[in-house]
Amino acid sequence: MLFFQLFYTFLLIGAFTFGGGYSMIALIQNEVVTHHGWMTSAEFADLLAVSQMTPGPVGINTATYAGYTAVVNAGYPHWLAICGSLIASFAVIVIPVALVFIVSRWLLRHKDNPLVASVMRVLRLAVIGLIAAAALQLMPTVFSATPTGNISIFNFQFSVFSIIIFLAVFFLSWRKKASPIALILASGVAGLVIYSF
Amino acid sequence: MVKYCDIFWSFFKVGTFTVGGGYAMLPLMQRELVERHRWLTEEEFLDQVALSQAMPGVFAVNMAAMTGQRLRGAIGSAVAIVGNILMPILFILLLAIFFCTFRDNVYVDRIFMGLRPAVVALIAAPVFALWKNEKRKVKSETDNASHVLRLTSYLSLYLIPILSALLIWLFGVNPILVVLAAALLGLIYGKLKTKN
């Protein structure tokens, strides 16, 4: 039953992802964390870290890791979890690849069609909101209390260190175009150092 | 005729040696497909990029599927896709097994406490760059347009991203519905624009 749900869920996610892996994050988050409860929000943040550190398309990496974790969290052994991860990554590409075969020729002929252009324009704008929503939804989890360095705002415990890391990485990535993998490695080392003292 | 193993090997390299998602693969793909093998001209390559962006799904996989299909049909397409995602899936599986086993390890936990805010920052950072890109396009397209068109273009530039973020974030609307609504809106807007 879980495997069928995994397949169906990632089939939908693949079919409705426009604009690359980052917009897929919002869809996966909604299905996997909010709707099905297959993993916690913190586990989801870990998944995103791993899928950005390793080679390959972020969409495939996220689907593979999510499929694996969902099955393990349901209490199944690792080899079944591997099946789950393969099902998820297969499901996520089925509909898009089928569409490549069916409509890519047609779309190539009509790429300058004003209707197609208009739909793509609005989709691109909505996807910006989708990515922003994914980040906003993760914030309570990633800013929540850590072993040291917390402050209390409106009865909510925030971690000062997490906020500093967030701002630093945001600035370095946005303004200085720093490489994501270097930033991820640096923050991992920072976490290890900060919370070890 | 192009050999299957050449298709496989090209996409294997592209998938294995790029970190940071589909768009990070573009330079390597271009080198492999356009410059090295000359399977596509520069223009055909750019057409495929535009097309892969317009299709749903994983960008890099769409590129692989399209190129494979063009070179050797359905089997070529499958070969390109498998080549592209084989190593990434193996890598992720190894890491997933590792992290599910060592989840309670205190050092792994500390590393991830540092990683989590960084990852969210990495997701948030391109939001502004993407938006600025759209703003530039609207500006250049509506320079000589009517007031009505300019107004609606700028309104949609601000309203659509904010609205879609708020609907998902605060009101818990399914992102799939937001995507559907956006496509519909684009269709209606395009119809109205071509009529005038």
List, for residues B85-120, the tens digit of each pLDDT value.
Answer: 999 999 999 988 888 788 778 888 898 899 889 989
Average pLDDT over residues B153-170: 93
Q: Amino acid identity, residue B157?
A: L
Give the span between the Cα atoms of B29 and A28, in whole angstroms: 27
Domain boundaries, chain B: 4-101, 122-195
The neighbouring-strand residues paired with A150 are A159
Helix, strand, coil abundance in chain B, percent, nearest 5: 85, 0, 15
B82 inside 8 A of chain A by CB: no
- pLDDT score recorded for residue A176: 85
How many A/B residue pairs have CB atoms within 8 Å?
387
- pLDDT score recorded for residue A175: 87
B148 inside 8 A of chain A by CB: no
Q: Is the dihedral angle over the CA atoms B113, B114, B119, B120 positive or is it negative?
A: positive
pLDDT over 70 (residue B10): yes
User: Residues of A with CB below 8 A from B171's CB?
Assistant: none
Spatial contact of A44 and A37, defined as CB atoms under 8 Å apart: no
Give the span between the Cα atoms of A74 and A83, in whole angstroms: 14
Give the span between the Cα atoms of A42 and A33, in whole angstroms: 10
pLDDT over 90 (residue A66): yes
Q: How far is CA B193 from CA A119, A123, B148, B181, B196, in A?
A: 12, 17, 11, 18, 5
- pLDDT score recorded for residue B99: 81
The neighbouring-strand residues paired with A45 are none
Residue located via tokens 């990554």: A89
Residue in B23, A109, A116, B49 with CA at minimum distance from that of residue B41: B49
Interface of A with B in 1-60 (CB under 8 A): 12, 14-22, 24-27, 30, 34, 42, 45-46, 48-60
| Three-state SS at B102 | coil
pLDDT over 70 (residue A138): yes
Average pLDDT over residues A141-153: 81
pLDDT over 80 (residue A4): yes
User: Residues of A with CB below 8 A from B124's CB?
Assistant: 131-132, 135, 170
pLDDT over 80 (residue B131): yes
Spatial contact of B98 and A50, defined as CB atoms under 8 Å apart: no
The rounded mean pLDDT for chain A is 89
User: Residues of A with CB below 8 A from B56's CB?
Assistant: 14-18, 95-96, 99
| Three-state SS at A25 | helix
B99 inside 8 A of chain A by CB: yes
Q: What is the pLDDT of residues B138-150, one digit of tens each?
A: 888 877 778 888 8
- pLDDT score recorded for residue B37: 94
Q: Which residue of B has its CA nearest to A54?
A: B19
